[in-house]
């Protein structure tokens, strides 16, 4: 089982790279725009757009794990692999589908990866909210 740890860590690294690229792209897009006025619908629209982007990043990462499970025949088909991967990545863990015994460490690493990536997404949301509510200090007159 430990012989599969390098594989699990490689998949985790790929997820980190996907998330880093996606969050970096979003930061660049947000920096290009002027800071929106603190109006309810303006902020709501921004958060909906960012939420959709973050969910797409997570779904991409879930798909990477699922495709690997199908490729290595650890799951019988793509729909099962996607379902298992989503339930594992989000740490819901229903337990109705299981990896074969030799592959179970990958499921644990996927769950840890999901926790980390969801935490990163939460931090990203907080950073956006913080930036929207920053008080710009007045310049001192000399």
Indicate whether 85 belongs to any domain: yes
Cα–Cα distance for residue pair 20/114, rounded to 1 Å: 14
Asked whether residue 141 is domain-assigned, the answer is: no
Do 89 and 61 form a contact (C-beta atoms < 8 A)?
yes
Q: Is this structure's pTM higher than 0.85?
A: yes
**Is the predicted pLDDT of residue 79 greater than 70, yes or no?**
yes
Q: Which residues contact 42 (CB under 8 A, 6 or more apart)?
A: 36
Higher pLDDT, 70 or 45: 70
State pLDDT tens for residues 80-101.
Answer: 999 999 999 999 989 899 999 9
Question: 26: closest CA among 63, 51, 59, 58?
Answer: 51
Higher pLDDT, 34 or 31: 31
C-beta of residue 40 within 8 angstroms of C-beta of residue 138:
no
Q: Look at the chain and report how many structural domains it folds into.
A: 1
| Lowest-confidence region among 29-43, 56-70, 89-103, 107-121 | 29-43
* Residue 56 within any structural domain of the chain: yes
Per-residue tokens: 55: 């969910």
Sign of CA pseudo-dihedral 111, 113, 116, 119: negative
User: How far, rounded to the nearest angstrom, does the alpha carbon of residue 119 sit from its chain's CA centroid?
Assistant: 8
Average pLDDT over residues 69-78: 97
Domain span including residue 49: 2-31+41-132
Q: Do residues 97 and 70 lie in contact, with contact meaning Cβ atoms separated by under 8 Å?
A: no
Distance CA 121, CA 54 (A): 7
pLDDT band at residue 43 using 50, 70 and 90 as cut-offs: confident
Which CATH number does the domain housing residue 123 bear? 1.10.287
Q: Residue 138 falls within a domain, yes or no?
A: no
């Amino acid at each position: 089982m430990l012989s599969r740890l390098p594989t699990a860590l490689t998949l985790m690294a790929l997820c980190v790279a996907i998330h880093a690229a996606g969050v970096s792209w979003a930061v660049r897009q947000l920096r290009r725009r002027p800071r929106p006025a603190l109006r309810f619908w303006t902020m709501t629209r921004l958060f909906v757009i960012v939420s959709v982007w973050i969910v797409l990043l997570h779904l991409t990462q879930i798909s990477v794990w699922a495709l690997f499970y199908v490729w290595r025949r650890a799951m019988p088909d793509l729909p099962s692999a996607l379902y298992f991967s989503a339930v594992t990545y989000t740490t819901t863990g229903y337990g109705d589908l299981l990896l074969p015994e030799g592959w179970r460490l990958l499921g644990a690493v996927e769950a840890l990866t999901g926790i980390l990536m969801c935490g990163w997404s939460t931090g990203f949301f907080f950073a956006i909210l913080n930036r929207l509510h920053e008080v710009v200090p007045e310049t001192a007159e000399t």
